[in-house]
Chain A
Amino acid sequence: MRITSALAAAAIVALTAACGSGGGGGSSSSAPGEPVKINFLSLAWQKESVAANKQLVDEWNKANPNIQVTYVQGSWDNVNDQLVTQFAGGTAPDVIHNDSPALSGFATDGYLLDLKDKVPAELKSDIPQAAWDTVTFGDGKGGQGVYGVPFLQESQVIIANKKLLDASKVRIPTPDNPWTWDEFSEAAKKMTEGDSFGVAWPMKSPVNKTLNLALNFGGTFFQTGADGKTTVKVGPEEREVLQRIHDQLYKDKSADTDALGMGTADPLPAFFKGKFALLPAGVFLRQQVAEQAPDGFEWVTLPGPKGTTAQQGAVSQTLSIAQDSKHPDEAMKFIAFFLNGPNQAKLAKGDWLLPTSQSAAADPAMTTEENGWDVATASAKNLVVAPFLKVNGFDEWKSKVATPVLQEFYANKITIEEAAKRLVDEGNKVLERYQR
C-alpha cells in the first residue's frame, strides 16, 4: 500500500539522523597533516555579489593552505528547509549564511554554535551593539547567546522618479529631515494625475515590510508578559502604518492597486514607464533600478518616512557556525577574515546593502551620492532590532497568519478590525505551540 510522502520523508530523515549520528560534522573531517576542510554555504545571488563572495574565498584559500574553504551555493528560497534536513542528517555546512529572523529558531533548537566567546575583539568592536542585538537569542536553556555575525543590513527607502518628483514641487526629503507620513501621503496625492499614481506598494510578501515600518509609530506587534509568554498585540501604534497605506490605496487613491500582488522588483517596468512616482523598497532594489533603467531615466533615493520616530526594524544577513562543525575555530577565523572592514565593503557593494562594520561604512564607496549610497548608508542609523526577531514561532505566524491577513487587508477584503482580530487570535494560537 502506498504511504503518504510526508510520512516517508519524515521517516527517512529520522533514519538518516540515526545512521548519521556517528558521523557528526558531515563532510568536514580530515586526517592529521592534511588541510582542514570547511564548507561555506553562501546565499549570494546577485551577479556582483556572487563574484565578490567567490573572490574572497579564493583569496582566503591562497593565503591559508591549511584551512581550505569550499564555496557551496544555496538559495534564499529554500535555505531553511535545506538546513532543517541537513542539521537533522548531520551534513550541515560549517559556515552558514542566513538572516537573523531564521537564527532564532535554529539557536533555540540547538543547531548553532554560540559565538559569544569566539568572536575576535577586533571584529566585535567594528560592529555596533545594535547589530549584535539582532543575533542575540535565548539558547533554549534559559541563557543568551550570539548565534551569528551580522554583516549586511537592509533599510527601507523610497526610490523616486526624479522628473515626476520635481514636477510635483514637493519638498525633497533629506536623511536629516525626512518626510513625515503625512507629508509622504500628501506628496503621493500631488503626484497622482490621470492614470499615473503617486506610489506603489508591492505587497506579495507584506509582513516584514509592514512590521519594519510599523516601528515608525512604535508598533512592535509582539509583547512579552510578566509570565514570560509572548503574545501578539495590534493596538493603535501597530495600526498607524497599516491604516496609512490602506488610505493611500483606497481613500486618497494615490497608490497603484495593481502592484499589490507583486514582489518587490516586479513593479519596476511600470516604474520606468512613469506609471507611478514613488516606490518604497529595500535599499538593495537600487541595484536593479540602476541596471534596468532605460537610458535617460532619472531616479533618486529618498529616506524612508518618519512617524513619531524614523526608526525601522533591522534584519541582518549573518554568518553562523553549525554546532556539529568539527572545526569551529578555523571556521571562526575564516569568518573574521571574510567580514573584516574592507571585505564587508566589497560584499555590501556587491549586494547593494548596508555593511554593519563601521570601518566599511566609512568607505568612500558607501557614502558617494551616486546611486543613492549616501542616503542608503545614512538610513542605517535609524535601524533598531526588529522586535519580531526574538519571537519563537514568528516564521509560522508570518506564513500562516500574517501573510494572508495582511494581503487580504491591503486588497480591501477585510477591515482593519477583522485584520487585527485575526492577527491576534490566530497568532496567539500559533505562538502557544512554541511556548509549552
Chain B
Amino acid sequence: MWLLMLPALVPVLLFSVGPLLYGIGLAFTDARNVRNHETAFVGLENLVELLGAADFWSSFRIGLIWAVSVTVLQFLAALGLALLLNENLRFRGVARVLAVVPWAMPPVVIGLMWKLVYHPDAGILNSLLGTDVNWLADFSLALPAIIVVGVWTGMPQTTVVLLAGLQGIPKELYEAGEVDGAGRWRRFWNITLPQLRPVIVAITSLDFVWNINQFGLVYVLTQGGPGGQTRLPMLFAYEEAFRYRFAGYASMLGLAMAIVVLAVLGLYLWRQMREAR
C-alpha cells in the first residue's frame, strides 16, 4: 500500500510540500536576495512590519476590491451567458466554442491584447467612444479597467461549469413547475438557483482564490501602476522579493495572503454548507 503511493507521493513532497515549508520558514527570517547577507531568524518581526505598513494595507484593499468585484461580475455575466447557451438557439455549438476562446489564451497574451484596446492613441476603445483617455494611466480608471479584463478572462471557465450544472438539472422539475403555474422568473428563482447552488459555491470559491492570486495579467497591463493603484497583493510580494530583494518579508506576505484566503474561503464555505443543510 505505502509502496504503491510512493510514485505519487515523492513529486508532491519534493515539488509542493518542500518549497511550501521552505517558504513558510523564510517568512520568519530576514532573508534577502543578496549575495553578502547572513540570514538570521527574526521571529514575527516581518509580520509586525507588514501589519504596520500602509502600502501593504492599500495593496490588500485593492486586492479585495479586485477579487470580490471580478468574482461577482464574472459570476453574473457567466450565469447570463450560460443560461443563454442552455437555450435551444441556432448556432449554439459555435457560440459555445466562441465563449470558451478566452480560456485558450495565456494571460500574457490577453494582457497585451487589452493593452492595445486601452491604448491612449491607437486603442480601439478610444476611437470607438471618441474619447482621449489614457485608461491604464488614470488614477481612478485603472482599477475598473483591469477589472473588466479580469472578468473577460475568467468568464469561460465559469460559464462552462455553470452550463454543465444547468444541464444536470432534471427537466421534470421545470415541467412540474409549469404545471403549478410558475412563471419564468419563479422557475429560475425556485428551481434553477437552488439546484445550481453546489456548483455556484464551488466555482465562485475557486474563482475567488484564482483572482486574488492573479499576477501575470495585471503585471503585463499596468505593472501595478499608476502610483500603486492596481498593485495587487501578489504584485506587491513580487516587487518586495525581486525588486527590493526582501525575500523574508515577501514570504511573510505570501503566507499572510494564504491565511487570509483560507479564512475567507472557510467562512464562506461553512456558511453555504450550513444554509444548504
Contacts and interface: CB of A to CB of B under 8 A. Distances in A.
Interface of A: 1-15, 80-81, 84-85, 87-88, 105, 108-111, 140-141, 204, 258, 261-262, 266, 269, 323, 393, 395-396, 399-400, 403-404, 407-408, 411, 413, 426, 433
Main secondary structure of the interface of A (DSSP, over half): helix
A404 B227 contact: yes
B243 A395 contact: yes
Interface stretch (B2-10, B186-194, B248-256): B248-256
Given A6-B238, A13-B33, A396-B244, A407 B250 contact: no
Contact of A7 (B33, B120, B246, B251): B251
Contacts of A7: 19-20, 23-24, 237, 251, 254-255, 258
Contacts of B244: 393, 395-396, 433
Contacts of A323: 35
Contact of A8 (B19, B31, B34): B19
B26 A5 contact: no
Contacts of B33: 13, 84, 87-88, 109
Interface in B158-197: none
Contacts of A407: 139, 226-227
Interface in B202-254: 209, 213, 215, 225-228, 234, 237-239, 241-247, 250-251, 253-254
A262 to B, nearest CB: 7
Interface string B93-126: 0000000000000000000000000001100000
A269 B121 contact: yes
B91 interface: no
A266 B120 contact: yes
A403 B213 contact: no
Nearest to B121: A269
Interface residues of B, number: 51
Contacts, number: 138
Contacts of B250: 6, 10
Nearest to A3: B20
Contact of B213 (A5, A15, A404): A5
Contacts of B237: 4-7
B234 to A, nearest CB: 6
Interface stretch (B69-77, B130-138, B143-151, B268-276): B130-138
Contacts of A3: 16, 19-20, 23, 254, 258
A5 B216 CA distance: 11
A106 to B, nearest CB: 9
B36 A266 contact: no
A52 to B, nearest CB: 29
Interface in B17-76: 18-20, 22-24, 26, 31-37, 54-55
Contact of B241 (A9, A393, A399, A403): A9
A11 B228 contact: no
A140 B36 contact: yes
Interface of B: 16, 18-20, 22-24, 26, 31-37, 54-55, 120-121, 132, 134, 137-139, 209, 213, 215, 225-228, 234, 237-239, 241-247, 250-251, 253-255, 257-258, 261-262
B213 A266 contact: no
Contacts of A9: 238, 241-242
Given A5-B234, A10-B23, A262 B134 contact: yes
B264 to A, nearest CB: 13
A258 B26 contact: no
Given A13-B33, A14-B26, A204-B226, 9 more contacts: A3-B20, A3-B254, A4-B261, A5-B213, A6-B250, A10-B23, A11-B251, A111-B35, A396-B244
Contact of B245 (A84, A266, A408): A84
Best-buried of A4, A15, A85, A407 by chain B (most CB within 10 Å): A4
Contacts of A258: 132
Given A261-B138, A262-B134, A395-B244, A4 B22 contact: no
Nearest to A88: B33
Nearest to A426: B54
B138 A11 contact: no
A403 B22 contact: no
A204 to B, nearest CB: 6
A280 B85 CA distance: 55
Contacts of B246: 433
Contacts of B26: 10-11, 14
Contacts of B261: 4
B235 to A, nearest CB: 9
Top 7 A-B pairs ranked by shortest CB distance? Answer: A404-B227, A6-B237, A7-B254, A109-B34, A110-B36, A110-B35, A11-B19
